[in-house]
Structure formats: C-alpha cells, structure tokens
Structure 1
Amino acid sequence: MSSSSAIFLIILGIVVAQRAGNIVRQVSKGILPNDAIGTILTFSLVKLMPMMLSLAIFLAVLLTLTRWHKDSEMVIWMTAGLSLRQWVVPILRFIFPIVLIISLLSLFVMPWATEKADSYREQLKKRDELSSISPGAFKESSNGERIYFIESFDKLGYEVKNIFVQSRQNGKTGIITANRGSRYKAENGDNFLVMQHGRRYEIIPNTLDVSTTEFERYDIRVETKENTPEASTSQAKSTLALMAGAALADQAELHWRVAIPISTIIMVLLAIPLSFVDPRAGRSLNIMFAILIFIIYNNVLSIFQAWITQGKISAWVGLWPVHVCFILLGWYLYHRRKYLKPLIPEMFKRKAKKGHP
C-alpha cells in the first residue's frame, strides 16, 4: 500500500504540473480569468482520477514483484512448489477496494466533475470583459472596439491601478489614462469601470487634431458577453442517462466508463508475468515493455470508442474485443512463465545490449 500511495502521489504531482501549466498559459493569454485557476484545475484532477489510480496500482504491483524477482525472492517462492498463478488471489484481494473506488469515480464522480466544469466555463464566458484581463497585459474587447491595459488589481479585482483604455467610436480614436479606478454594478445590472483622476485624448485619424480633457471621474460601461448555451456532451451526462440514451456517442461513453475498472483488473493481472526479470540483466527493459502495453491498451480502447461513435463498430460489440485480446495476451504470458521462457525474446535483449557500452 505504501508503494502504491507513493507512486500515486508522483503521478498526481506530474499531472498537476502539466495541467496547471496549461491553465496558466490560457490565463496569460486572457482566455481564462485569474480566479479560475484553482477551480478548473480541481475539476480536471477529478476527471483524471480514475486513470491516475489505475496507472498507480498497475505500477505498484509491477515494481513490487519486479523487485522480488531481482532479489531472488521469487525463486524461493517457486522452490516451495508455488506457481505464479497463486499470486492472483492475494493481488485481487489487494486491488479490490481500489477497483471499487475507480468504478465509483468512473461511473458517477467523473461525469459530475465534467458537467460542473462545463457549467463553470459557460459562466466564465458570460462574465464581463474585465474579468479575463491579466495584470500587465493588453486585452482586446470581444467586439474589437476597445483595448484595455491594467497594471494591477486590488481587493479581489474590484479596484485597479494605472489604467489605459483605447476605444474607437464615430470615426474617432479615444485614449483614456487614469491613476486608479474601480468597478461597480448599476441597479439595472450593467457593469461599469469608474476611472478617477485621469485624462482623455481624442484623436481624429489622418489629422493632427488632438483634444485633451482632464477629469475627476469617468465611467465606462463594460460589455457583458452573451453566449448561447451549448448542448450537454456525452462526457457530462450521468451514467443512468447514458444507459437510457440511444445516441452512438452515449453508448461509446458508457462503454468507456465501464472499461476503466475492467482494464485496471486486466493490467494488474498482466503485471504478474510482466514483472519477471533476469537477475543477470537490468529490469528497465521489462518495465518499459509493461508501460508500453499499458499505453497501447488505453489507446486502443480510445480508438474503439471513436469507432463506436462513428458507427464503424456496433454498440453491442463495444470495447469487449480489446479486453478479450489482452486477456489472451495475459494467458500467453502466464504460459511462457510456466515453462520459464523469457517474456522478451533474446534477440531483442541482444539488440538492447548492443546499444549500451
């Protein structure tokens, strides 16, 4: 359990760094507001939690048994008259609660997180233009008539400092600068940016006419985005709704959710024969081979899911051919280990050794 917890924390750290970097990149470009980072990151982690747990438990079993092979403890196990298949029952007992958690996350929590994330993104799209401005970056309005620049925010974004606004109206270009400002909402629901102690320059294009006006207070109405609500995706629908739905996309998504815990069980059982290493050789080749099988398994599942959505495969067939193929692969690997045959042919090992001094 300690090994699986440590591996899960490592995977979680990698995913958090990758997802956080992507979200921060969107914030820097003005696609997302600053205060949305934590919420979107949390929903993303919840959606990826079943796959992270699946990978963590697979690597935990694989690395533990690989270490036992390397330390010749498995030799003692075999000498005592015990076969490799007798590892199946204790490992299934160990992974049962984790697979149960993965099933609950995949069938119920993951669609809930997807629906909440989509709903939150829709709310962000309806927020006013100032909500997506990053301090120190220029931001163009949705209609292209204004360009904003704000040096810094205070008090949760309702007070701003060093403001620059360029607008175009009636064939004239206006530039407004102010030392500070604030935001407020009128009784009718309109949002305004109040600028204090600043100047307004009005320029007529292709002329030298420039008029300057100093002001104590200047109010600018901030446009609120109007977006038509998007239709709910299959990923955001509940499992019960998918079972009642007749669309191919719904059936494909249902097969995918069921496939996550099933693939976890199959891959953990595959980790038993894949963990064998030759004590005279390094164990990195077997680990790379096992991870490659895990990646291929999940990618083939994704391909079959897309084929179901496109109608190339019947929904009654689903993803079961993929599971059956990897079950047969597991039987083949157990058969080779029964007769003490290497899982990776010797010619591949010789080629791998040639690449090292």
Structure 2
Amino acid sequence: MIFNQSLRRELSFTTGGVFLVLITIMITTLVIRILGFAANGTVNPQDAFVLIALATLGYTAVLLTVSLFVAVLIVLVRWYKDSEMIVWFASGLSVTNLIRPILQFATPLIVVIALLALFVWPWSNRESTLISQRFQQRDDVSMVTAGQFKESAKSPRVFFIEELDIEKSEVKNIFVADSKNGRMNIAVAANGYIQNSEGGEKSIILHNGRRYEGQPTQPDFRILEFDDYSTKIRSKESLDPPPRDREKSVMDLLNDPNPQAKNPNQAELLWRIGLPLMALGLVLIAIPLAYVNPRLGNYTAMFYAVLLYLIYSNLLNLTQNFVSQGKISVLVGIWPIHALALCMAFVLIRNRINPSLKWWQRQLPTIKGRK
C-alpha cells in the first residue's frame, strides 16, 4: 500500500510537470504561428488568443498521451537509478506488481484522452475554422478603419473612409478605387450610407460625388459627376463552410450519407479511437522499458522510448491514410498496431521477469556465477 501510494503520488507530480512543459512549448509555437497569420491578414488579430486557446484545447489529448508515457518512464528510471526498485523487489514484489497501480493511475487519464479525442478535438477544429472563414468572408465596410486605406477581401478594391458611424450606417468623405477589365474606376464623395437589401445583399450609396473611369493616358478617360452612386459590397449572406473530417462529430462521421466521404470518415474515427489505445499501449510498454542498470547508469531506454513513440504515432497516421484512401478497411486497420503494442509489452515484461534474450541479459546487473 505504501509503495502504491508513493508511486501514484510521484506519477501525479511528474505527469503534471511534463504536461506543463509540453503545453508551454505548444502555446509558444501557436502564438508565433497565429500572430504571423494575423500579421498577414489571414485571421483577425482580435481572434488570435481565441484561436490559440482552441488549438491548444484540441491537441490536449496528444499532449496528455505523451505526458503519461514520459512520466511513467521518468519515475521508473529514477527508481531504478536510485535503487528504490531494489527495495520493491526485496519486499517480494515483481515488475508485474507495477502494472496494477500504474494502470489505476493511468485509466482516468486515458478516459479523459478518449473524451478529448472524440468530442473536444472536432469541436475545437470546427470553431477555429468558422472564426477564420467568417473573417475571410467579412464585408468590405466591416473591415474599414476610419482614416486608413484598406484593401477589399474579395476583389482588387481599395476603400478609404474618413469618418464611419456603424450604428447609423453613415460614412463621410469616401474614396473607392477598383480595377476591372484593365480599367480603373475611382469614386469620391462627401457622404453616403450603407444600404441593406433583401437576400443579404449590402451596398454603399455615395452622394454628390465624382467618378473617374479609364486610364489617364488613354483618350477615352472620363470624369463623371453623380448625385447617387451605388457599389455592392456583399452579394449574399456568408455561409458556414462544410465541415472537414477532423471537424465532424462522432455521429456525423457515422451517419454521413455521402458515399465518397465514407473512407475519410472511417479514417478519422480510427485515429480518434486509436489515440487512447495508443496511450494504454505506451504505458504498458514503459513499465519494462524503463529498466536502468544502477551500476552501469545506462539510459538507452529513453532513446528506445522516443523511437518507439515516433514509430507508434507514425504507424497510426499511416494506417489512417490507408483507410482514407480505401486501401484497407477500418476493421482491418484498427487493431494490428495496438495488438502489436500489447504483444510487445507482454514480451518485454516476460523477459524482464525471466531474461531469455541475450540483449536483455546484457542490461541486467552481473550476477555471481552467471556465465
């Protein structure tokens, strides 16, 4: 009981510390990337922190998986290095007695990983896409800042408005320049207003202004004066884009009537289910893999652990791609990788208890009389 409590307490602190480090690195990376998008005009700068939070929330399942795997390794490696495992073994316990307390600690986190992968991952992706798309689909007046030249999001058009009253839909001292069929069109007016039409169309009406049309060096250049001049700034209501595979809920993936989306939907579902299974497999593998000879101080287990995680993760992604392309069915692709991981954990634990492999024997302390 004392050993189990000590193990769980140390696993809790280590998992929290590893997760904090990983999420700090991820947030830093996301801040750099999303602020770059905001500087380029891809996303609204006011939405940057919301997008960072959504992206971090979406990848929390992956971060928890890595944190759990690394925490089990770090704790058990330290126990071997500091000879605490000698006390464990001297008390009549073996490596198999580590499985139960570690799984008791890991099971709630694996359940959280499953919930995050199945529900939070698609929701955060969908919200991020909607925020970005709505900014891209914004109408021209909504992005105009008084006293600044702004380029239209949908056409080669430049706006300048000296004063803007959004509540009254009034604008003053307007400059609109666009290019069509190689001809410049420039309209200037002292005042105007925004007009909403049926069907979501929106136009801006300029009063008592002047219009310049054509090329200044060509003889057909015209200067026109007008009482009212209308220019359309939005032709229809902005529609939400159709969801991608990673943005669909579990029910949408299962009930999508589109036959062409069947394989991508099944591939996405395979990845979401595979993430908590991968967490379970990595935890079981970490138990025997964490062995360190306290006399030799050999930390090759950490190298093997990193290599194993990369292989496991890439095999899961590769299987997802194969299912998405229809090369294999989801029933065939969902079990081999995780079954292989469980078999590997079983073999490693068995050979840790009763070494039979020459490689494994070399990792054990030299026992007097062994040849």
Q: State the TM-score, normalized to the length of structure 2.
A: 0.73
Q: Check 1:139–1:273 CA distance in 2 against 1; reply closer, same or farther (3 A cut).
A: farther
- C-alpha displacement of 1:308: 1.1
- The separation in 2 between residues aligned to 1:177 and 1:271, in whole angstroms, is 71
Amino acid in the other structure paired with 1:309? S
- 8 Å contact kept, 2:72–2:283: yes
CA contact (8 A) 1:165 1:175 kept: yes
Do structure 1's residue 44 and structure 2's residue 59 form an aligned pair?
A: no
Q: Match of 2:15, as an amino acid? A: S
1:301 CA displacement: 0.6
Greater Cα shift, 126-135 or 12-21: 126-135
Percentage identity across paired residues of the two chains = 30
DSSP-derived class of the 2:179 partner: strand
| Counterpart residue identity of residue 242, structure 2 | A
Residues 201 and 283 (structure 1), Cα distance of their counterparts in 2 relative to 1, 3 Å cut: farther
In the TM superposition, residue 175 of structure 1 has moved relative to its aligned partner by: 7.3
Measure how far apart 1:92 and its partner are.
0.6
Q: In the superposition, relative to structure 1, how do residues 226 and 30 fare at CA in structure 2: closer, same or farther (>3 Å)?
A: farther
> Which residue is equivalent to 1:296?
311
Deviation readout 1:212-242 (Å, 9 max, x if unpaired): 9xxxxx9976456876654333322222333
Residue deviations 1:265-296 (CA, integer Å, cap 9, x gap): 11011111121123345565322321221121
Kindly report which structure 2 residues correspond to 1:138-157, keeping only aligned pairs within 5 A, or say none. Answer: 139=151, 141-144=153-156, 146-147=157-158
Summarize the alignment of residues 211-230 of structure 1 with structure 2, pairs less than 5 Å apart: 222-223=233-234, 230=241
In structure 2, what is the equivalent of residue 23 of structure 1? 34
Q: What do the CA deviations read for 1:50-76 (whole angstroms, capped 9, x no partner)?
A: 111111111111111111111111122
Could you say what secondary structure the match of 2:115 adopts?
A: helix
Aligned pair count? 341
Report the CA distance between 1:132 and its aligned residue: 6.5
Tell me, in whole angstroms, the C-alpha distance in 2 between the residues paired with 1:274 and 1:243: 38
Return 56-65 or 246-255, whichever deviates more: 246-255
CA contact (8 A) 1:242 1:254 kept: yes
Assess if the C-alpha contact under 8 Å between 2:186 and 2:213 holds in 1: yes
**Judging changes above 3 Å, is the alpha-carbon distance between structure 1 residues 185 and 322 closer, same or farther for their aligned structure 2 residues?**
farther
Q: Which has the larger radius of gyration?
A: 2
Once residues 289 and 133 of structure 1 are traced to their aligned partners in structure 2, the CA distance between those partners, rounded to angstroms, is 56
Matches within 5 A, 1:11-160: 11-129=22-140, 139=151, 141-144=153-156, 146-147=157-158
Q: Residue 256 of structure 1 aligns with which residue?
A: 271
Shift of 1:97: 1.3
User: Given that residues 139 and 234 in structure 2 are in contact (C-alpha distance below 8 angstroms), is that contact kept between their aligned partners in structure 1?
Assistant: yes
Say whether 1:333 aligns with 2:345.
no
Distance in 1 separating the partners of 2:18 and 2:222: 66
- Whole-Å separation in 1 of the counterparts to 2:79 and 2:240: 56
User: RMSD between aligned alpha carbons?
Assistant: 4.5
Instruction: Using the TM superposition, name which of 94-103 and 115-124 deviates more.
Output: 115-124
Greater mean deviation of Cα atoms: 296-305 or 218-227: 218-227
* Matched letter for residue 335 of structure 1: R
Residue 352 (structure 1) aligns with: none
Structure 2 counterpart of 1:351: none
Q: Report if the CA contact (8 A) 1:234-1:249 is conserved.
A: yes
AA aligned opposite 2:155? N
- The Cα shift of 1:94 comes to 0.7
Structure 1, gaps ≥5 residues long: 213-217, 348-357
Assess, with a 3 A threshold, how the Cα gap between structure 1 residues 333 and 194 changes in structure 2: closer, same or farther: farther
After TM superposition, list the pairs within 5 Å mapping 1:186-265 onto structure 2: 204-206=215-217, 222-223=233-234, 230-245=241-256, 247-265=262-280
Q: Is the 8 A contact 2:264 2:324 kept in 1?
A: yes
Structure 2's unaligned 5+ residue stretches are 1-11, 224-228, 364-371
The 1:42–1:95 alpha-carbon spacing in structure 2 relative to 1, beyond 3 Å, is same
Q: Is the 8 A contact 1:33 1:131 kept in 2?
A: no
Q: Which stretch has the larger CA shift, 58-67 or 87-96?
A: 58-67
1:215: which partner in 2?
A: none
**Cα deviation 1:140-163 (Å, max 9, x = unaligned):** 64222x24689xx9x9xx9x9xx9
TM-score (norm 1): 0.75
Structure 1 pair 75–233 and aligned structure 2 pair: CA distance change class (3 A): same
